Structure formats: structure tokens, C-alpha cells
Amino acid sequence: MDIRRKQPIGVELVKRGVVTESDIEMALQYQKTHSEMKLGDILYELDVCDPTTLINAIADIVGAKGILLTNNLIKINVTDYLPKDIAQKDKAIPFDVSNGKIKVCFPNNVEARKMEEVRLEVLKKGLIMDTYVTFSQQIDKILAMLNGAMSDQIDNSEGTTTTELVDSIIKTGIESRASDIHIEPMQHGIRVRYRIDGELYTATHIRPDKQQQVIGRLKAISNMHQEKQESQDGRITTYENYNIRVSSQPNIYGEKFVLRLLKKNTDIRSIFDLGYPGDDENVRKSFNKKNSITIIAAPTGEGKTTTLYSIIDYLNRPEINITTIEDPVEIRIDGLNQIEMGPKTTFSNSLRTVLRQDPDIILVGEIRDLETAEIAIQAGQTGHYVLSTIHTIDSIEVINRLRKIGVSDYDIGSILSTSVSERLVRRACPKCRRERDFTAEEKEIITKIMSRYGEEVDFTGKKTFDAVGCDYCNNTGFYERIGIFEILDITDEIRELIVRGASNLEIRDKALELGYRPLVVDGMKKVLDGITTLDELNRKIVLY
């Protein structure tokens, strides 16, 4: 990267038509009271033009590549390739590695000596540096995340008692909307991470001399055996409105703990608030069919249980007897008979008992084996409506998964009414997202994918957003998640294919003819509606 230029960057930007002379004058006025900021960062702050165009122009002027670097574009663990102290000092973010090259991003006003220091550091790992620049604001936010943006909220100071420290970690997790807290012994201390909106963020590091006290305190409040150094499960019930499940697992440096934060009496969100496409007619078509089974399919942590609860809440009426079998009961709903699995019970045993309780609708937390599947099928064949989940990649793969655990083609075809697959994508933060037009490249990607499934795209009036980051979203650029869905309704034509043992490919072709659309279509619609971003969708289901 050659950072030398013949004329001031403001003059170059005006010559290229990126900004106007009045924009530069306004930026120079702003700089009088913000002397620590460089011109490019001020123009970005003032939002005088499209930020992508601006950073690409600045990058071209200084001889690098431009990028709007956000947390979701970082594909590697930064500190695996660059020591944390050098990343902080030189404001350098390695964000991707391929074919012997490592992409490293700097602020647009970076000094040559800092780049050279980083280049030599990554060269030690046998990698050639590919240089990118972005705005300083984005680098600072990512470095804050690297340093633990939430660490200031955790009382990890000298003199803090172990009780206060553990309490601070849990309360900060609750306040930060974390679904899980990871407390992990490492070689040089304990790392604390929070999973927020599906992503793990480092919150703080605890000195190694506190390890045994922290482990002892976690075991004490979780009702675990203190002496046993083996996997254990426990529960913390001392935090108002929260039921916290605790799992411990020994590793080479001690015992790792994962705390799952489950809010009591959570309001059930409607199926449409979750992002389910269509209207009441679509929901009635897909759900509430007697003598049948509906299955929600997705990998772990992609919202299957939440969707099940929303469907149950939609169907719940005083004249209907609904029974659920769960492991564990995560949300309690008035009017339902909810059964929690014990250490000596199984889904299949509980399901046998439930069938003698005169249910209309049965929710089975998960179909894990042939025995549970057969009893669920029996329940569906005897007039009940059964809802359950299964771990597969999409709604058509549900058929193959049932076949693999031993269910006959006849039983699948006769009883499966709907399979739904979903993923959760993060919403662009409403407080800090930066609106812009879709680029030509983005339009090409969206049009190409949508046309593959017969969907036309009109970009008129459509805007997208860049994830920026602020205090409201913990500097991630995203706040909360929404589902993207695909729905396979089992029509007579598809039923016939299943019964005669047709392959998934044949079933998919017929389903597409009949109106089925894969996850990517609903995802693209949510990108076009400005709910999420193309990069976030690509991170979740890999488009390009």
C-alpha cells in the first residue's frame, strides 16, 4: 500500500465527484472542534455521501482496498493471527484468510510503519498481507469488542469477592440479553463470553488464581457436587424472573461452565412476529390438521422451540386439550398441560402415558429415535395433531431423516402434513444502522438467486443498511433476530412420491412446481424489506 499522495485527500475526493467543496468546508469546520479526527472519518460521520463510495475512493487514493468492516465480516479469530496488544496499538484487524493471504484492515489514515509491523507479524505465520482500509470508527468498535465491550459492566477489580464476581457476570449477561454465558478456563486465566443474538462475544478475562473459587461458587449456587470433576447439570433459581440451567464439562485447564438463561413467564411472540411468511390463511393451511404430524426442522439454536410455542399459542383455546412433553419446559403457558422430562423418563415413555390423557394436540420436544417416531405416528393416526422438531438442514430433508431412523415411506406419507425449516438472522440495529442504496453487485446477486426460483425483483424504493454499532446493540450493529422460513405442505402429489420411495431430489422438483420456496427466498425478501442485510444472510446460509 502506497500511502503517499500528491494532493490533499479532500481535493482528490472533490476531483472524483465523491463530495462537493461545500462538504469539505463543512468537514473542516467540524474538525475545528474535533481535532483528533481525520477528514475521511469526519465525512463518514457527517454522512455527506454513500459510505461505500467514500471508503472505496479513499482506498484508491491511498493505494489500498476499501471495505465497510463490521463484526460479521470477520471470519477468523483475530488473536490467532495477530497478538492482541499489536492489534490494539496498530489498530489492525485481520478478518479473513485464504490461499496463503490474510486480509488485514486498517483505519484509512494509517501510518506506513504500523502496516509494516503488522505485515512482518503475519509473515511469521507464513501469510502475505492483503491490505484493506475502513473508517476509524469501525476499527475502534471492533477493537472494543475484541477487548470485551461489556467488561466495564463486570466487577472484576482487585478486592472483589468471588460471590460478587460471579453475581456480576450473571447480571451483566441478563442485562446484555445473552442467551448463554460461557465461563471457560484457559491457559492464562478464565475467559467469559456471552452469546447474544446467536453470536459469542468475549466479555472479560479473570485471573487464573481465581479459578477454583469461581468454580466452587458456580457449583454451590447450581446445587452441583463440589468434589466431582466430571460433567454435571445444575440449576440456579436465585435470580428473579430467570431459571438458569447450568452445565459443567472438564477440559484440560479445569472445568468449563455454560449457563443457559431462561426467562420465566416470557410473553409468547406471535408466529408472524417471528417472521413467518404469509397470513392467517397460510397458517391455517399449514397447521392444526387432525390425524397428522407437523415437524419444525433446523440445527440447534435456530429457534425451533420458539416457533413451536408460537404455533401452540396460536392454536390454544379453552375447548382444546393441549399437552406438551419437553426437555426441559422452557416457557410456561397457562392452559397447557406441560410435562418436563426427568432423568429416568424418555419421550417415548411419556408419550405413551399422554395418549391416555385424552389430548387433542400433543407437542413432543424432539423426535430423536424410531420408538418416539412410531408412537408419535400412532398418535397422529388415531385422531391427534402432533407437533415436534427434528435436526435437519431443510424441510425436505425431514423426509430423509425419518427414513434414516426407520420410519416406513407409507407412514411418512400418510401422517406428515407439514414440515417447516428455519434459520435465525440478526436484525440491523434500529438505532445505528446506516441506510443506503443496494450496490450493483448486490442487485446482481439478489436478482440471480431469486430468478432461479421464478421470483421477480423490483428494487424501486428499496434500501438496505450497513451495520454500524452503538451502545444499544453492544457495538455489534445488530439487535435481536428474526426467522427466515421455508414451508413444505405435503400435497397429494408429494404424498404419492414419498409413499413410492422417491428421492429427495424428485420431491424437491415437484414441490418447487407446486409453490414451495427454499429458505433463501424468504431471506432475500427480508433483505429487500430492510430487516436484515445481505452479508448477514450470506453468513447464515452461504450465498456467495
**How far is it, in rounded angstroms, from Cα 515 to Cα 488?**
9
Q: Which CATH class is domain 148-263?
A: alpha beta
Distances in Å between the Cα of 376 and the Cα atoms of 124, 288, 415 are 58, 15, 10
Q: Give me the helices (H) in 16-99, please.
A: 21-33, 39-46, 51-62, 78-81, 84-90
DSSP letter string, 473-503:
TTTSSEEEEEEEEEEEE--HHHHHHHHTT--
Q: What is the pLDDT along the chain (544 residues), one digit of tens a residue?
A: 544 445 688 898 999 999 999 999 999 988 888 888 889 999 988 888 888 899 999 999 888 899 998 776 888 878 778 887 788 889 999 999 988 999 999 998 888 889 999 999 999 889 999 999 999 988 887 887 665 555 556 766 666 799 999 999 999 999 889 999 999 998 878 989 899 888 888 888 888 889 999 999 999 999 999 887 889 999 998 998 888 999 999 999 999 999 999 887 677 888 999 999 988 888 888 886 778 999 999 988 898 988 998 998 888 888 889 998 887 777 777 788 888 877 777 788 888 888 888 889 999 888 989 988 988 888 888 889 999 999 998 999 999 999 999 999 999 999 999 999 999 999 999 988 888 999 999 999 999 999 999 999 999 999 999 887 777 887 778 899 999 999 999 999 999 999 999 999 999 999 999 999 999 999 999 999 999 999 889 888 877 6
Residue 493: how many other CB atoms lie within 10 Å: 12
- In the chain, where are the structural domains located? 9-146, 148-263, 280-541
β-bridge mates for residue 225, sequence order: none
User: How far apart, in whole angstroms, are the C-alpha atoms of residue 51 and residue 73?
Assistant: 16
N residues, the chain: 544
Looking at residue 153, the DSSP 8-state letter turns out to be G
Other C-beta atoms lying within 10 Å of the C-beta of residue 496: 12
Beta bridge partners of 223: none
**CATH topology assigned to domain 280-541:** Rossmann fold (3.40.50)
3-state secondary structure of 246: strand
For the chain, how are helix, strand and coil distributed in percent, rounded to 5?
40, 25, 35
CA quadruple 504, 506, 508, 514: dihedral sign: negative
- Quote the cell numbers at residue 96: 479473513
pLDDT in tens, 183-240: 999 887 898 989 988 888 888 888 888 999 999 999 999 999 988 788 999 999 899 8
Sheet holding 232-236, edge to edge: 199-206, 189-196, 180-186, 254-263, 242-251, 232-236
138, 67 in Cβ contact below 8 A?
no
Decide yes or no: CATH 3.30.300.160 for domain 9-146: yes
| Rounded Cα distance, 204 and 186, in Å | 12
- What's the predicted TM-score (pTM) here? 0.74
Q: Is 301 helix (H, G, I), strand (E, B) or coil?
A: coil
- Cis status, amide bond into 318, omega within 30 of 0: no
- Which ranges constitute the DSSP H helices of 124-210? 136-147, 162-175
Question: 301-324 burial, b for 16+ CB within 10 Å, e for fewer?
Answer: ebbbbbbbbbbbbbbeeeeeebbb
